[in-house]
């Protein structure tokens, strides 16, 4: 049972309305409603106070929901790292283009800086994916959409095919984009 369902259950078992519970907890009725609908989570002080009111333990209130909270935190980190990776990729190419306008040493430092940041973010993202046992992009997307890894499991052979194809496509796109920037924007002749 999720924490919001437990909060409703315990409130009903104690014959309390949302307004009555809110008054006992010194919060608004809307706050209780948000907790019970799962829009927000109660903080630790509120959980301790509720546990006292319901004559139970905080552990009983949150035990089943801890995995859900950890998954939500992991989803947030995955999204944040993905946005960071895309941002550094774009910044790297913009820095490469800036060779046209900026002195070469400055533009080179920008390219190196954003490339290094991108590598660090990519390594962090890979580490988090490994911790969550997410081995493919499709599994990562499924996890972000609320599915479990077990729901989208691939054979080792298919996983290798997908990773190899993704690597080849990534290398080709990077090479083509770099070539187009170098010849069309920077005016290099190769």
CATH of the domain at 9: 1.10.260.40
In this structure, are residues 82 and 122 in contact, taking their beta carbons and an 8 Å threshold?
Answer: no
Residue 61 lies in a domain: no
pLDDT of the residue at 156: 62
The residues, any chain, with a CB within 8 Å of residue 130's CB and separated by 6 or more, are none
Query: Is the confidence at residue 148, as pLDDT, over 70?
Result: no
| Position 175 confidence tier, pLDDT thresholds 50, 70, 90 | very high
Helix (H) or strand (E) holding 135: none
How many structural domains are present in the chain?
Answer: 2
Q: Are residues 51 and 86 in the same domain?
A: no
- Burial class of residue 11, CB neighbours in 10 A (0-12, 13-18, 19+): buried
- Same domain? 103 vs 165: yes
pLDDT attached to residue 155: 61
The rounded distance, in Å, linking the Cα atoms of 24 and 26 is 6
For the residues 133-142, what does the mean pLDDT come to?
Answer: 70
Q: Whole-prediction pTM value? A: 0.52
As given in the structure block, the two tokens for residue 28 are 């608004």
Domain annotation covers residue 143: yes
Q: Domain check: are 167 and 92 in the same one?
A: yes
Calculate the alpha carbon distances from 27 to 71, 138, 154 in Å.
27, 42, 48
Check whether residue 28 and residue 48 sit in a common domain.
yes
Range of the domain at 46: 3-56
What are the tens digits of pLDDT across the range 64-94?
655 565 666 677 888 898 899 999 999 999 9
pLDDT (average), residues 143-170: 73
58 Ramachandran zone, left/alpha/beta (phi>0; psi -120 to 50): alpha
Instruction: Write out pLDDT tens, residues 14-26.
Output: 999 999 999 999 9
- At 42 the three-state DSSP class reads coil
Instruction: Choose from 41-50, 56-65, 107-116 the range with maximum mean pLDDT.
Output: 107-116
What is the per-residue pLDDT for 121?
93
pLDDT digits (tens, 9 = 90+) for 94-110: 999 998 889 989 999 99
């Amino acid at each position: 049972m999720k924490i919001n369902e437990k909060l409703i259950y315990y409130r009903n078992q104690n014959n309390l309305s949302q307004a009555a519970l809110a008054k006992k907890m010194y919060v608004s009725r809307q706050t209780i409603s948000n907790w019970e609908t799962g829009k927000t989570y109660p903080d630790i002080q509120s959980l301790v106070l509720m546990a006292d009111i319901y004559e139970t333990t905080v552990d009983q209130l949150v035990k089943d929901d801890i995995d859900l909270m950890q998954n939500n935190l992991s989803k947030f980190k995955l999204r944040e790292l993905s946005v960071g990776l895309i941002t550094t990729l774009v910044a790297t190419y913009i820095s490469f283009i800036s060779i046209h306008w900026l002195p070469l040493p400055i533009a080179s430092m920008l390219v190196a800086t954003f490339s290094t940041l991108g590598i660090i973010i990519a390594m962090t993202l890979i580490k988090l994916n490994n911790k969550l046992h997410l081995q493919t992009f499709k599994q990562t997307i499924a996890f972000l959409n609320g599915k479990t890894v077990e729901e989208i499991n691939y054979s080792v052979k298919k996983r290798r095919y997908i990773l190899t194809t993704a690597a080849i496509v990534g290398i080709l796109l990077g090479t083509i984009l770099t070539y187009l920037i170098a010849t069309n924007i920077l005016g290099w002749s190769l």
